Amino acid sequence: MKAFVVDKYNKKGILRLAEMPEPKLGDSDVLVEIHAAAVNLLDSKVRTGEFKLILPYSRPFILGHDVAGKVIRVGSKVRRFKSGDEVYARPRDGRIGAFAEFIAIDEADVALKPSNLSMEEAASIPLVGLTAWQVLVERAKLSKGQKVFIQAGSGGVGIFAIQLAKHLGATVATTASATSAALVKGLGADVVVDYRKDDFEKILSGYDIVVNSQDAQTLEKSLTVLKPGGKLISISGPPDPEFAKEKGLNLVLRTLLRLLSRAIRSKARRRGVSFSFLFMWAQGHQLGKITALIESGAIRPVVDRIFPFEATNEALAYVETGRAKGKVVIKVR
């Protein structure tokens, strides 16, 4: 099968289009014929080796974390899916590979594709949808009447998180450029801060939750908009000791991550708020709940551009510019 692979970690390198063997099907796996795959900044970071200490892959490996397609074969222990089912997934770490014609995925990571979405629209959902769900529902336990500040509202996670937060009954603030203001307001944002001319920390206050997806400077400023007891949840780092424990990292890495996050954790404690890092995980059951929200009309996808499979490198380069409003998708077949 054709696939785009990482041969070596390189910040300026490109993916190689290669002939790779069809994935082996485990007893609990479904073999999916890939119709579409989304491109994420996570793909860029994995390609450059930024996460190689916590996400080790034997090279060459196939890149890609978001997939939509059709089941063509199932393992002997699979009970939830059958050949012909249209599905989508964020394959678990260690088993990624959406930039290809086929992929084998553990059935626990898979959900039926929303019936009202195309394959390209469905492929745009899993990673950002699960990230938003795990931050707002699992970690923050966001409830009706609370105030949440979601950074980068026109980005992939922001677009989904704004809609989910509004569905949960929260008041939502976000940052966006003037050209993206109408988009995020249409998704449900109550307060839109133009990051190019205004400082959010001078405008926002008394928030219950902040979802950080930006740099270290923005992370520190985010503490100031929280009320006492508030929660700062970052999906862009730095990783904290709890994450290291969950991943089962060795003593050296646990110590390193503790040091990297020590400053922000200390500043959060002094302000009477909490800091935590979240690195999303594959979860088909949660994705099934997201399917229901999409089919009910509570959440809709926003796709910026669709590239042909052969232009996967161009799609990745476009995502790296940071100019996309919504998700970037590759049409595989």
Indicate whether 162 belongs to any domain: yes
In tens, the pLDDT along 152-201 reads: 999 999 999 999 999 999 999 999 999 999 999 999 999 999 999 999 99
120 and 133 part of one domain: no
CA neighbours closer than 13 Å in the CB half-sphere of residue 67: 34
* 269: CATH: 3.40.50.720
Q: Label each residue of 62-126 as H, E or C.
A: ECCCEEEEEEEEECCCCCCCCCCCEEEECCCCCCCCCCECEEEEEHHHEEECCCCCCHHHHHCCH
Residue 61, φ and ψ in degrees, nearest 5: -135, 155
Q: Is there a domain that residue 248 lies in?
A: yes
Residue-wise pLDDT for 23-35, tens only, equals 999 999 999 999 9
Question: Could you give the residue ranges of the DSSP H alpha helices within the chain?
Answer: 41-48, 119-123, 126-133, 156-167, 181-187, 200-203, 216-222, 241-247, 251-270, 284-296, 312-321
Identify whether the C-beta of residue 94 lies closer than 8 Å to the C-beta of residue 103: no
Backbone angles phi, psi at 52, to 5 degrees: -65, -25
Q: Which amino acid is at 112?
A: L
Amino acid letter, residue 229: G
Shared domain for 64 and 13, answered yes or no, is yes
CB 68 within 8 A of CB 122: yes
Asked whether 67 and 332 are in contact (CB, 8 A), the reply is no
- Asked if residue 309 and residue 324 are part of one domain, the reply reads yes
CA distance 14 to 122: 26
pLDDT at 92: 97
Same-domain check for residues 11 and 115: yes
Q: For the chain, what percentages of helix, strand and coil (3-state, to nearest 5) are there?
A: 35, 25, 40
Give the mean pLDDT of 293-311: 98
**117: nearest Cα among 211, 222, 36:** 36
User: What does the block give as tokens for 195?
Assistant: 């990051």
Question: Average pLDDT for residues 5-11, to the nearest whole number?
Answer: 93
289 part of a folded domain: no
Average pLDDT, the chain: 96
pLDDT at res. 53 = 86
Domain residues for the domain of 149 are: 128-277
pLDDT more than 90, % of the chain = 91
> Which residues lie below 8 Å from residue 269, measured CB to CB, with a gap of 6+?
none
Task: Kindly state whether residue 291 falls inside one of the protein's structural domains.
Answer: no
Report the alpha-carbon distance of residue 218 to residue 149 in Å, rounded: 12
Asked, for residue 286, whether it belongs to a domain, the answer is no
Residue pair 87/30 in contact by the 8 Å Cβ criterion: yes
How many independent structural domains does the chain possess?
2
Alpha-carbon distance of 90 to 95, in angstroms, equals: 10
Claim to verify: residue 106 and residue 203 sit in the same structural domain = no
**Could you tell me the two tokens for 21?**
């063997």
Residue 246 belongs to a domain: yes
Q: What is the rounded distance in angstroms from the CA atom of residue 163 to the CA atom of residue 318?
A: 25
Residues 226 and 257 in one domain: yes
Looking at the fold, whether 194 and 252 belong to one and the same domain comes out as yes
How large a percentage of the chain has pLDDT more than 70?
100
Dihedral angle, C-alpha 275, 280, 283, 286, nearest 10 °: 60
Nearest to 204 by CA among 145, 165, 147: 147
Whether 167 and 64 share a structural domain: no
Q: 191 in a domain, yes or no? A: yes
Same domain, 154 and 263: yes
Question: Considering the domain boundaries, does residue 293 fall inside one?
Answer: no
Question: Same structural domain for residues 260 and 318?
Answer: no
pLDDT in tens, 216-250: 999 999 999 999 999 999 999 899 999 988 888 88
Q: Does residue 30 sit in the same domain as residue 75?
A: yes
Residues 142 and 259 occupy one common structural domain: yes
Domain CATH number, residue 71: 3.90.180.10
